[in-house]
Amino acid sequence: MTRALARRCAAVLLAATAWSVAAGSSPATAAVSVTPTSAGAGAVVDLTTHVDDDAASPVVRVEVAFPVEHPALAATPEPLAGWTASVDARTGGARSVTWDGGSLAPGGAIDFVATVTLPRDIESLPVAVVLVRADGSTEERSGATGELPVAATIALTGASTTSTTAARATTSTTSPAPSSGGAVWSTGDVLIAIGIALTIVVVVRSRRNARRR
The answer as to whether 170 is a domain residue is no
The answer as to whether 179 is a domain residue is no
What pLDDT is stored for residue 145 in this prediction? 77
What pLDDT is stored for residue 29 in this prediction? 78
Give the chain's domain count: 1
The answer as to whether 41 is a domain residue is yes
What pLDDT is stored for residue 185 in this prediction? 59
The answer as to whether 84 is a domain residue is yes
The answer as to whether 68 is a domain residue is yes
pLDDT in tens, 7-50: 554 443 444 343 333 334 445 678 999 999 999 999 999 999 99
CB 108 within 8 A of CB 114: no
Put simply, whether the predicted model's pTM sits higher than 0.75 gets the answer no
What pLDDT is stored for residue 54 in this prediction? 87
The answer as to whether 9 is a domain residue is no
Distance, CA of 122 to CA of 67 (rounded, Å): 11
DSSP at 68 = S
The answer as to whether 66 is a domain residue is yes
Sequence-distant (≥ 6) Cβ neighbours of residue 120 within 8 angstroms: 41, 42, 73, 159, 160
Domain interval for residue 141: 26-159
Cα 23 from chain centroid?
40
Cβ burial, residue 187 (10 Å; 0-12/13-18/19+): exposed
Residues of the chain scoring pLDDT < 70: 1-28, 161-193, 195, 197-199, 201-213
Measure the CA dihedral 124/117/74/58, to 10°.
-70
CATH of the domain at 65: 2.60.40.2230
Can you list the alpha helix ranges (DSSP code H) found in 30-184? Answer: 162-174
The answer as to whether 127 is a domain residue is yes
